[in-house]
Amino acid sequence: MHAADLETIEIDLFLNALYQRYGYDFRQYAQASIRRRIKHFQARTHYKRISDLIPAVLYDEAFAHSAIHDFSIMVTEMFRDPTFYNAVREKALPYLKTFPFIKIWHAGCATGEEVYSLAIVLQEEGLYDRATIFATDFNDSALQTAREGIYALKEIRQYTKNYQQAGGTRSFADYYHAQYESAIMEQSLKKNVTFANHNLVTDGVFSEVHLIFCRNVLIYFDKTLQNRVLNLFADSLSYGGFLCLGSKETLRFSDVQERFKVIDDHEKIYQKCTT
């Protein structure tokens, strides 16, 4: 048996151990992505073989949660892909303004930068006071960062540029205050946001909502898991509700394609069919 085949068996056993012991299921993540993350974790922890990690995660809970944290995807920024936010303003929010209140699910919110971005857009469009935002992730330490809303001040120049390109109508400085080397997001942006643990891989329908943001998460899942999560989103959306995906993600060829109409193919905004 080739070394690569043995390594594949090791990875399968390792991921199964994490799932059986702690309930975190990475078994249907895209193979190349999860292999790369496991090997990075192996190198960081100085284990000779991936199989040597298995007893460690089974009997050392802190070590296991360190691995789980490593496998979380935390690449994010405020107003990432600014043209996307322009499209949300123009193509989704006018319809949502017709409701007396709206519920939003921000799935896979990571450390929260895009949650605050959406909150700012809603505030500027006069919708924030009618909105309830559920921001979820399976990584508790990322959620804690999101709750605190404190980010490195050095990132603010890029975030300000993104905000301006995203159709911002005020000064971005209105939404945070600087303290030492940190930017602390305004409390008013948090009042209608609930941060909660939810695992897209293993948990069920979250709530009936009018808008779902899940951007740049599905690219890390294999086709089967993508379809499971997309069905979860379709079942969680009210009729006429919007689903917003990342720039490299699509409903094309998915199980739920027929349940949605395309609102903006370039920005990956979809609306659940009303019939």
The tens place of each residue's pLDDT in the chain, 275 residues long, gives: 666 688 899 999 999 999 899 888 888 888 888 898 899 899 999 999 999 999 999 999 999 988 888 887 777 899 999 999 999 999 999 999 999 999 999 999 999 999 999 999 999 999 999 999 999 999 888 999 999 999 999 999 999 999 999 999 999 999 999 998 999 999 999 999 999 999 888 887 878 999 999 999 998 898 999 999 999 999 999 999 999 999 999 999 899 999 999 999 999 999 999 86
Which pLDDT score is estimated for 3? 65
In 3D, which of 63, 5, 12, 73 has the Cα closest to residue 37? Answer: 73
Which pLDDT score is estimated for 65? 86
Quote the pTM value. 0.88
Residues in the chain: 275
Domains of the chain, by residue range, sit at 3-71, 82-272
Q: How far is CA 240 from CA 98, 184, 208, 243, in A?
A: 12, 35, 12, 10
Listing from the earlier edge strand, what are the strands of the sheet with 260-264?
193-197, 131-137, 102-107, 209-214, 237-245, 269-272, 260-264
Residue 237 backbone class (left: φ over 0; alpha: ψ -120 to 50; beta: rest):
beta
Which backbone phi and psi does 195 adopt, to 5 degrees? -95, 130
| Beta strands in 60-130, from DSSP E residues, in sequence order | 102-107
Pick the CATH number of 82-272 from 3.40.50.150, 3.30.1300.10, 3.40.50.2300, 3.40.50.200: 3.40.50.150
